[in-house]
Amino acid sequence: MFPYAKLRTLNGLESSVYTYINQHQAEVETMTIRELAEKAHVSTTTILRFANKMGYEGYSELKYALKRNRAALSEPTPLSDQDLSAPLAEFFETVTTPEFSKLVDQAVAKLEQAPLVLLCGIGTGAALAEYGARFWSNTGTFSLALTDPDYPFPEQTAVLQNTVMVALSVSGESQPVIDMATRAQQAGVYVIALTDHADSTLAHLADLVITYYLPELTRGGLNLTTQIPIIYLLELVAHRLKQPR
């Protein structure tokens, strides 16, 4: 109900409204606009701007849409019946925009200067980090996967000069990933975040953020969100990197 094209138009405060609503949909349905403003630490005017940018005439219409959307999501739907084509089509349309291409170019420019690239992730992100590290190494960009949050990270040394870390987290709130990214930054490493949430903790601490805004899917506490965008971005970057140097 919040298309990526519209989310890209949000400023920082409006993104805070989106993040709060996305994480507390049931509560927001019963809140007044003033209550939401207090919880999200924004003004009521910011909430109205957010609603208008999302295509709703006011806060009441936004709340009704939230209730209707949550009711639809609460109906048990077999995984085999869930259609990913629409959000993925929107994602692939997004990656062709000049704004998105510019972000990828910025990432590639940093990676091409890096003597070492660290891809970090936990859980599913760990598997993606390992895949990305091998794929990028095939281009001549020396890359390693960092999947153990307790792995000792060296203090700032010449070895880490120009090193880049790519942190993978759908929510942007994975504490182990945030901890690894924080330690890396303290050692002088440039951090790039690949996440679904532009207003997440990981996004705020990263030097560069690439977001893809796809609906999250969980079952029994397990994350079943499609990882196609991450795989695509990892391979897209690999093909833009210069050949072995």
Q: What is the pLDDT of residues 199-236, one digit of tens each?
A: 888 998 999 999 887 766 666 566 677 888 899 999 99
The C-alpha torsion from 121 through 126 and 129 to 130, rounded to 10°, is: 150
Unique residue bearing structure tokens 């660290």: 118
Q: Which pLDDT tens digit goes with each residue over 7-44?
A: 778 888 998 898 889 888 889 999 999 999 999 999 99
Whether 96 and 161 map to the same domain: the answer is yes
Specify whether 215 is located in the same domain as 105. yes
| Residue 236, pLDDT score | 93
**Would residue 79 count as lying in a domain?**
no
User: Is the CB of residue 132 less than 8 Å from the CB of residue 117?
Assistant: no
Contact 88, 226 (CB under 8 A): yes
Residue 80 lies in a domain: no
Cβ contacts of 84 within 8 Å, gap of 6 or more: 226, 228
Total count of residues recorded for the chain: 245
Supply the CATH number for residue 144's domain.
Answer: 3.40.50.10490
Given a cut of 50, is residue 103 above it in pLDDT? yes
Q: How do beta strands 218-219 and 222-223 pair?
A: antiparallel
Residue 153 lies in a domain: yes
Task: Supply the pLDDT for residue 245.
Answer: 44
Cα 182 to Cα 124: distance, rounded to the nearest angstrom: 20
**Better-scored residue on pLDDT, 89 or 166:** 166
Structure tokens at 141: 């960009």
CA atoms 186, 192, 196, 197: torsion sign? positive
Full residue range of the structural domain in which residue 63 is found = 4-74
Tell me: do 222 and 141 sit in the same domain. yes
Q: How confident is the model at residue 179 (pLDDT cuts 50, 70, 90)?
A: very high
- pLDDT value at 5 more than 50: yes
What tens digit of pLDDT does each residue of 59-92 get? 999 998 888 877 765 655 454 445 667 778 878 8
Res 117: pLDDT: 96
Residues 114 and 53 in one domain: no
Give pLDDT, residue 88: 82
Q: Using CA atoms, how far apart are residues 175 and 121, in angstroms rounded to an integer?
A: 11
What's the domain count of the chain?
A: 2
pLDDT: which is higher, 81 or 196: 196
Tell me, yes or no, whether 33 and 114 share the same domain.
no
Tokens of 159: 């070895």
Residue found under tokens 């009521």: 44
What is the model's pLDDT at position 142? 94
The two tokens of residue 210 are 């690439």
